[in-house]
Amino acid sequence: MTQPPSSLPASDLPVVRLKPKANARAIRRGFPWVYANEMVLDRRTSKMPAGTIAVLEDNERKEIALVTVNPNSKIVCRVLDRDTRDVPDRAWFATRLDKALTLRERLFDAPFYRLVHAEADELPGVIIDRFGDTAVIQPNAAWADVLLQQLTDALVDVTGVKNVIKNAGGRGRQLEGLDNEDKVLVGSMPEGPLPVVMNGATYFADLSGGQKTGLFYDQRPNHGFAARLADGQRVLDVFSHVGGFGLAALAGGATSALCVDGSAAALELAAKGAEASGMSDRFEARQGDAFDALSALNEAGEKFGLVICDPPAFAPAKPALDAGLRAYERIARLASGLVEENGYLVLCSCSHAADLSAFTGACLRGIGRAGRRAQLIHTGQAGPDHPLMPQLAESGYLKSLVFRL
């Protein structure tokens, strides 16, 4: 991809234009995307290299915003700045990163958090997770790939991190037509998994071979809430990854925690975390399909005081919504049968397409099919290092429902 000069004044940047019926007002009020069916995709615009910086105008040729253009994506334009004269360079990135860092340093006493949460932090399509002196970037939009050097330089300037890793495993990169090549951008890849202390437990993040960027920071407050219910309880954590809910529950006083996951590598890290936390004697892992494990535990008549199910996205997009909701319903039904009377059930969804109402409905249908009655005692979302952009529903993807059965 060719990089458009970052020093050009707005008057020298290419112009792209909305169709007459496009909702320019929504964009002026903060909506950050322009879809292909809203754009004038003439021959000139269609030939723009993915990641081109341009000025967006309405159909009356009035400037709206500075945008990045990818004619190969359903999201043709992403809004970068309301000021069309402020073209992204190292200083532009540094301003946004400093703003993001200021919030996280107010929220957390150690440098382990999501530093940049895409559109909500004014860097559309960009995810940055921080692990002390190491940062992992997911540049999930073409413009971020084009300007990755400027972004990386600014990241080092603002945070002082010594290692910067590019993680190319994000689903968004496929939709943008980008490569899947991970690489070290600055410094070196840390040797072995990195320890991260959260909610009184030690977790291990595998930055080179783990899921996403190595750890799910978004569930941190939900782990903490579940841990408050765990004292004296036998706990089951299904889709546990590296022990997210299970280790927090043990730190909260659980008598035991059984972590179930399909990944042997993730369970090894969970066991390593239990050992580092001094809780190995109360920790157990079981590798296998989650649905099979839930069915087997039901057949064996097992009961737990706290059951958590935190599956991957069953409905990542609208075409998968119906099937995804059926899967969430099935999880709720199987998990409900394992909860003791007056015990607790935590059900989570990270599906963009399933909103809170649809997800709650699926969970309640599953609980009802299991013959149980429920009190909904808590509704959780992603932590404050994953801020919600109010104009973009997709940024509020995580739902966590806590029931007393």
Predicted TM-score (pTM) of the model is 0.93
What residues are paired with 183 via a beta bridge?
166
The pLDDT of 97-104, averaged and rounded, is 98
Contact call for residues 167 and 152 (beta carbons, < 8 A):
no
- DSSP-derived letter for residue 39 is B
> Which pLDDT value is given to residue 11?
61
Q: Residue 332: which of 359, 353, 312 has the closest Cα?
A: 359
Predicted local distance difference test score (pLDDT) of residue 3: 44
The confidence score (pLDDT) of residue 2 equals 41
**Residue 40, C-beta contacts closer than 8 angstroms, at least 6 positions apart:** 16, 17, 18, 19
Say which range, 42-51, 201-210, 366-375, has the weakest mean pLDDT.
Answer: 201-210
pLDDT band at 4 (very low <50, low <70, confident <90, very high): very low
Give me the chain's average pLDDT, please.
94
Region 132-160 average pLDDT? 97
Determine phi and psi for 158, rounding to 5 degrees.
Answer: -80, -40
- Domains, the chain, in order of start with CATH, read 10-81 (2.30.130.10), 90-186 (3.30.750.80), 200-404 (3.40.50.150)
> Can you tell me whether residue 126 is helix, strand or coil?
strand
Helical H segments across 197-320, by residue range: 220-228, 244-251, 264-276, 290-299
- Cβ contacts of 106 within 8 Å, gap of 6 or more: none
Strands 183-186 and 163-166: antiparallel
Does 335 score more than 60 pLDDT? yes
Percent of the chain with pLDDT over 90: 88
**Is the pLDDT reported for residue 88 higher than 70?**
yes
pLDDT at 176: 87
Assign 10 a pLDDT band (cuts: 50, 70, 90): low
What is the mean pLDDT of the segment spanning 269-274?
98
